[in-house]
Structure 1
């Protein structure tokens, strides 16, 4: 018999001791179960409810804790307290993910990777939600549900269909840049540790003097970039579908703490209107020769979650969680996500998801008038839950977190103002021409493998037209490769 003197007594959820966890109560030996065995029903009912709705996108993810240390003075650009001076450290939780796959999907697939960070700052939690690519497929949030539907299972066949993917892509020329990224060598990272992270979106920084800047974040991996070929990825996904999750956990357990150096691009607000293309267009990058990278600090991950469900699956990130000195830009996709992310968490986790340990502030205390709702802890107790009040309740500061943005003109469903080089193909062509001959061959082979599966010639031709517009050689090579596969 094992020693039980140092072990806790097994209890029900209400704390009552459990006498027998091996045998259910029955009406006599071998008889039917008794409804009075509430411990059994408590266990079965909880088991039925152990899973919550998975994320529609970014369902398959891994996470870890760590810290961010400032290594350079950026106070001339932002008054954010956690970025105030070199040497300042802030606790961080990071979640990496694939985008299109379900919760049980394989890690080693061709798909963008989410790169979400929660900074537990003394001025509240700051969430930065990005990807491992500096651009995205679309530039307006109204197209996001349509785009994701093309990546998900077809209503009739129940699988992802090349016709759906390429029909939408061919009708949306703005995707050409991101598709070139996705099917290039960086389309399948070897691990979460060996990829860069980007804010992709443009954000606003404002300094203590009220001067505003537009910024883009770049997290450069200190482990070096490593990627998988399509064949390598297929082999790994078949043998170890949890390869990214395993790699991150084992590296941290072994003390090989992954890190990234944060650099930013900074654009003075006054330059945005006359820049040669729309700087808030999520399908475009800012060339480094125009806005060089400026070092900010280093992100290091050094602690694994104790419970993946509680801390990774229930982690919730919203780009609307800003702190003083950081704010949004007019980027339409960002503006849509300011609502959509938080609303997704209210649906998945409930209105009180911000009270969960992984989501609650760690370096300060939330003080507001939110009460009740499912799973409410009502930490405010008897305190008055309205403002203003004369009972010592929390008060507003009157100090905006970010600088105001000038707007003009009538309301309506406007296309973005046209800049001199607002073109869906220029940057895709530039990216293609930067590639080596071997990289171009792998890019074309990857694209052709998907496009050759499309059943309608008009969709194929429309897609090829987009790549021809980016670069004549790009389009010609892809056309030849698709014909070879379809006629082979």
Structure 2
């Protein structure tokens, strides 16, 4: 048996599990092979999406009809709030030309244009998924795509993978049930699928599952019914959605949530962040939140559906992530896929553009059409020229992970001694080397403001008074 390696030939010890901070902790960035697999998957097929290539979409509105402020401070989820959205439905495995009426999981991706930036809830019509660790996601998708030699779909590949990975059985059971073949996009539920978190005004965190229950009722197809439809209409779901909205028959879904406290999560008999498992409705009952309505068809399919870019990394204050391994990986993988598929500044396209003001230092690259304005001396951070600044009020509460916590630790607190080692180096220099240092610094400060020069001299003085005075004298000679 040959040794599995990275693309650089390095042997792989474990191709089943991501590196995490503890058994239930978040994924570590050092897991190169995880990032390599996800990044490579995003580049395997162009220009259509690597997965969810065949899709339909419509605009609509989310109206919050119930008060859940005790769970979240997110403005989009406050009672009475109405938020414009776009919802893209899709099949997972098929290419852009695939038939709609196929047995497959359906994507259920929503972009909410909130006052605090875009919130993307990228889910499916099922509450679970085939795998719970993104380390296996590219491998799973390979089984759903075509055999690279025959260029045919392979049932053997799918079932071989499923039977080698028993965590798939929950999703496989749903897929092979009646609900694996929805009659239309209007007649199916939607789920955020992952566990997310809600944070209230007191800084309290709650784990949450998002549910969208169709008001049209569940309606499914048999294999025979689907085959008959595909024989006559490969765009049956697209046609149904478009024509019903054109006629004013606007589909609706009831928006509900499940809530779990951090204490309850710690006491649960299974991992609540496992994407292959659901939460009991008896133990964690559905809570009414609002209603979602689709009421407007896109004007241009390519601009507004094909170029729509969704990512679970897009969140707003009061809504956040969880240690769900699949969610953690999608936070990286989805925007990376959009940059590759659409372009560097895909977020500036009309369908992806937020309605609030955007202030960012990420301005380089193709497709910057002027949405991100760059003022003189304000193109980097931190700066001394009143550029956009962070605001600590948006920090989330620390996340306990066993004996450690996940937080934004100030790396400067690890050691605030930035002067003793430069002093040791400075003291090793002979007089000629010191003079060269002073002169080189003075030369490099040509055009530097007096404010910045003064700050530099104050720092040099903490290394050595001689260091500061030497640079000051060299600057004076050039004045």
| Corresponding residue number in structure 2 for 1:53 | 47
Paired position in structure 2 for 1:392: 386
Secondary structure of the corresponding residue to residue 385 of structure 1: coil
Q: CA deviation at 1:52?
A: 6.2
Give the distance between the partners of 2:173 and 2:121, measured in 1 at CA. Answer: 25
The answer as to 2:68 corresponding to 1:74 is yes
Choose 307-316 or 388-397, whichever is displaced more.
Answer: 388-397
User: Could you say what secondary structure the match of 1:168 adopts?
Assistant: helix
Whole-Å separation in 2 of the counterparts to 1:68 and 1:183? 31
Decide whether the 8 Å contact of 2:145 with 2:153 is kept in 1: yes
| Offset, 1:271 | 1.1
1:262-320 per-residue CA deviation (whole Å, 9 max, x = no partner) reads: 10000011111210111111111101000000001111011110000000000000101
Q: TM-score, normalised by structure 1?
A: 0.72
Report the TM-score when normalising by structure 2. Answer: 0.73
CA deviations 1:396-427 (Å, max 9, x no partner) are 1112353321124699xxxxxxxxxxxxxxxx
Partner of 2:398: 404
Contact 2:75-2:81 within 8 A present in 1 as well: no
Cα displacement string for residues 208-257 of structure 1 (whole angstroms, at most 9, x for unaligned residues): 00111000011000111111111111111121000111111111110001
Does the CA contact (< 8 Å) of 1:261 and 1:299 recur in 2? yes
* Counterpart contact for 2:126–2:191, Cα < 8 Å: yes
Matches within 5 A, 1:20-59: 53-59=47-53
1:311 matched residue in structure 2: 304
What residue is the counterpart of 2:199 in the other structure?
206
Deviations 1:25-69, CA, capped at 9 Å, x for gaps: xxxxxxxxxxxxxxxxxxxxxxxxxx9610010000011111100
Cα offset, 1:174, TM superposition: 0.6
Contact 1:96 / 1:116 at 8 angstroms: preserved in 2?
Answer: yes
Report the counterpart of residue 185 of structure 1 in structure 2: 178
2:142 matches 1:149: yes
Residue in 1 that maps onto 2:163 = 170
Q: 1:195 to 1:401 in 2, by over 3 A?
A: farther
CA contact (8 A) 1:204 1:402 kept: no
Please report how far the alpha carbon of residue 386 of structure 1 lies from its aligned counterpart in structure 2 after TM superposition.
1.5
SS at match of 1:146: helix
Unaligned 5+ runs, structure 2: 1-44, 406-479
Q: CA deviation at 1:172?
A: 0.4
**Pairing 1:137–2:134 present:** no
Whole-Å Cα distance in 2 between the matches of residues 410 and 151 of structure 1? 39
- Partner in structure 1 of residue 57 of structure 2: 63
Counterparts of 1:211 and 1:125, CA distance in 2 = 23
Aligned equivalent of 1:238:
231
Give the CA deviation at 1:388: 2.6
Task: State the alpha-carbon separation in 2 of the partners of residues 339 and 67 from structure 1.
Answer: 28
- Aligned match of 2:268: 275
- 1:276-295 aligned at under 5 Å gives the runs 276-295=269-288
Which protein is bigger by CA-based radius of gyration?
Answer: 2
Q: 1:401 to 1:303 in 2, by over 3 A?
A: farther
Residue 368 in 1 paired to residue 357 in 2? no
Matched, 1:337 2:330: yes
Q: 1: distance between equivalents of 2:62 and 2:211?
A: 14
Q: Is residue 320 of structure 2 the alignment partner of residue 327 of structure 1? A: yes
**Does the CA-based 8 Å contact 2:101-2:182 persist in structure 1?**
yes
Distance 2:59 2:155 in 1: 38
1:343 alignment partner, SS class? helix
The Cα shift of 1:395 comes to: 1.5
Q: 2:396 and 2:374 mapped to 1: Cα distance? A: 32
Q: State the distance in 2 between where 1:211 and 1:410 align.
A: 18
1:465-476 pair list within 5 angstroms: none
Supply the distance in 2 between the matched residues of 1:221 and 1:84 (Cα, whole angstroms): 22
| Residue equivalent to 2:467 | none
Q: Deviations over 1:329-355 (max 9, x none)?
A: 001111111100110001001110000
Question: What is aligned with 1:225?
Answer: 218
1:153/1:320 CA distance change after superposition, 3 Å = same
Does structure 2 conserve the Cα–Cα contact (< 8 Å) formed by 1:77 and 1:213? yes
CA distance in 2, matches of 1:55, 1:404: 35
Equivalent residue for 1:253, pick from 238, 246, 249 = 246
Structure 1 residues 299, 367: CA separation in 2 closer, same or farther (over 3 Å shift)? Answer: same
Report the Cα distance in structure 2 between the residues aligned to 1:401 and 1:223, rounded to whole angstroms. Answer: 40
1:413-432 matches, cutoff 5 A: none
Tell me the distance in 1 between the aligned counterparts of 2:160 and 2:223: 23
User: Partners in 2 of 1:319 and 1:238 — Cα distance?
Assistant: 36
Once the two structures are TM-superposed, the CA of residue 88 in structure 1 deviates from its matched residue by 1.2
* 1:265 aligned residue (240, 258, 267): 258
Structure 1, unaligned runs of 5 or more? 1-50, 412-488
